[in-house]
Amino acid sequence: MNLPAVALRGLCVLPKMAINFDVSRDRSKEAVQYAMLHGQKIFLVTQKSDKVEVPEEKDIYTVGVIADIKQMVKLPGGQMRVLAVGRTVARIMSMDTSGAYIDVEVEELETGIPEDTDEVTKEAMLRILKDELMKFLQSNQEISKEVSRALAKVGDIEELMEVTPIHMPFTLEEKQNILETLDFSERYALVVQLVTRENEVRRIRNELQAKVRSKVEKNQKDYVLREQMKVIREELGEDAQSDADMLAEKIEELSADDSVKEHLRKELSRFRMMSGAAAEAAVQRNYLDTMLSLPWNEGTEDRNDLKEAQKVLDRDHYGLEKVKERVLEYLAVRSVTGKGDAPILCLAGPPGTGKTSIAKSIAEALNKKYVRICLGGVRDEAEIRGHRRTYIGSMPGRLVAALTQAGVNNPVMLLDEIDKLGSDYKGDPSSALLEVLDGEQNSQFRDHYVEIPVDLSNVLFIATANDVNTIPDPLRDRLEIIEVNSYTENEKLHIATDFLIDKQMKKNGLKDGSLSISTGALKKIIHHYTREAGVRSLERKIGDICRKAVKEQLDKGRKVTRVTEQNLEKYLGREKLFFDPVNEKDEIGVVRGLAWTPYGGDTLEIEALLMPGNGKVQLTGQMGDVMKESAQLALSYARTLSEQFDLSEEFFEQHDIHLHIPEGAVPKDGPSAGITMTTAIVSAIGQKKVKANLAMTGEVTLTGRVLMIGGLKEKLLAAKMAGITNVLVPDKNKPDVDEMSAEITKGMNICYVSSMEQVLDAALVQ
Tell me, what's the pLDDT at 579? 62
How sure is the predictor about 44, in pLDDT bands with cuts at 50, 70 and 90? very high
Q: Which of 572, 601, 622 is the last residue of a domain?
A: 572
What mean pLDDT comes out for the span 429-451? 81
Tell me, what's the pLDDT at 81? 92
Tell me, what's the pLDDT at 272? 75
What mean pLDDT comes out for the span 619-639? 86
* pLDDT 10s digits, 570-609: 888 887 766 666 777 888 888 988 887 766 677 888 889 9
What mean pLDDT comes out for the span 50-68? 89
Tell me: do 385 and 511 sit in the same domain. no
Tell me: do 374 and 398 sit in the same domain. yes
Q: Which residues contact 418 (CB under 8 A, 6 or more apart)?
A: 346, 375, 433, 463, 464, 465, 471, 475, 479
* pLDDT 10s digits, 71-118: 999 888 888 999 999 999 999 999 988 888 999 999 998 888 888 888
* pLDDT surpassing 90 at residue 631: no
Q: Count other Cβ atoms within 10 Å, centred on residue 302.
A: 19
Tell me: do 514 and 618 sit in the same domain. no
Tell me, what's the pLDDT at 239? 43
Tell me: do 604 and 553 sit in the same domain. no
Tell me: do 643 and 592 sit in the same domain. yes
227 found inside a domain: no
Distance CA 706, CA 679 (A): 12
Please state the domain count of the chain.
Answer: 5
* pLDDT surpassing 80 at residue 634: yes
User: The domain containing residue 337 runs over which residues?
Assistant: 306-482
Distance CA 534, CA 80 (A): 50
Distance CA 305, CA 69 (A): 78
Tell me, what's the pLDDT at 90? 94
Q: 753 phi and psi, to 5 degrees?
A: -125, 150
Tell me, what's the pLDDT at 745? 81
* pLDDT 10s digits, 190-218: 888 888 888 888 888 888 888 888 777 77
Residue 672 falls in the annotated catalytic set: yes
What mean pLDDT comes out for the span 148-177? 83
Tell me: do 474 and 493 sit in the same domain. no
How sure is the predictor about 730, in pLDDT bands with cuts at 50, 70 and 90? very high
- The strand pairing partners of 700, in sequence order, are 706
Mean pLDDT taken over the chain = 84
Distance CA 262, CA 258 (A): 6
* pLDDT 10s digits, 317-375: 877 788 888 878 877 887 777 665 667 888 888 888 888 888 888 888 888 889 998 88
* pLDDT surpassing 50 at residue 729: yes
Tell me: do 11 and 97 sit in the same domain. yes
Tell me: do 407 and 442 sit in the same domain. yes
What is the DSSP code string of 126-146? Answer: HHHHHHHHHHHHHH-SSS-HH
Q: List, in sequence order, the alpha helices (H) in 240-298.
A: 243-253, 258-272, 279-293
* pLDDT surpassing 60 at residue 241: no
Tell me: do 623 and 531 sit in the same domain. no
Query: In the chain, what percentage of residues exceed pLDDT 70?
Result: 95
Q: First CA to last CA across the chain, in angstroms?
A: 87
662 found inside a domain: yes
362 found inside a domain: yes
Q: Taking each helix axis from N to C terminus, what angle separates 321-337 and 306-316, rounded to the nearest 10 degrees?
A: 160
Q: Which of 461, 482, 503 is the last residue of a domain?
A: 482
How sure is the predictor about 664, in pLDDT bands with cuts at 50, 70 and 90? low
75 found inside a domain: yes
* pLDDT 10s digits, 10-33: 899 999 889 999 998 889 999 999
Q: Which amino acid, residue 594?
A: L
223 found inside a domain: no
Distance CA 402, CA 413 (A): 8
Tell me: do 370 and 472 sit in the same domain. yes
What mean pLDDT comes out for the span 164-189? 86
Tell me: do 378 and 428 sit in the same domain. yes
Q: 389 phi and psi, to 5 degrees?
A: -70, -5
Catalytic pick among 361, 430, 672, 683: 672
How sure is the predictor about 237, in pLDDT bands with cuts at 50, 70 and 90? low
How sure is the predictor about 301, in pLDDT bands with cuts at 50, 70 and 90? confident
Alpha carbon of residue 638 to chain centroid: 44
Tell me: do 497 and 599 sit in the same domain. no
Q: Which residues contact 367 (CB under 8 A, 6 or more apart)?
A: 300, 301, 302, 303
- Per the CB < 8 A criterion, the answer to whether 434 and 478 are in contact is yes
Alpha carbon of residue 190 to chain centroid: 55
Q: Which of 73, 108, 143 is the last residue of a domain?
A: 108
Catalytic pick among 175, 369, 668, 715: 715
For residues 710 and 731, which has the higher predicted lDDT (pLDDT)? 731
* pLDDT surpassing 90 at residue 68: yes
- Per the CB < 8 A criterion, the answer to whether 540 and 495 are in contact is no
Q: What is the CATH number of the domain that holds 616?
A: 3.30.230.10
Tell me, what's the pLDDT at 338? 65
278 found inside a domain: yes
How sure is the predictor about 6, in pLDDT bands with cuts at 50, 70 and 90? very high
Q: Count other Cβ atoms within 10 Å, centred on residue 649.
A: 7
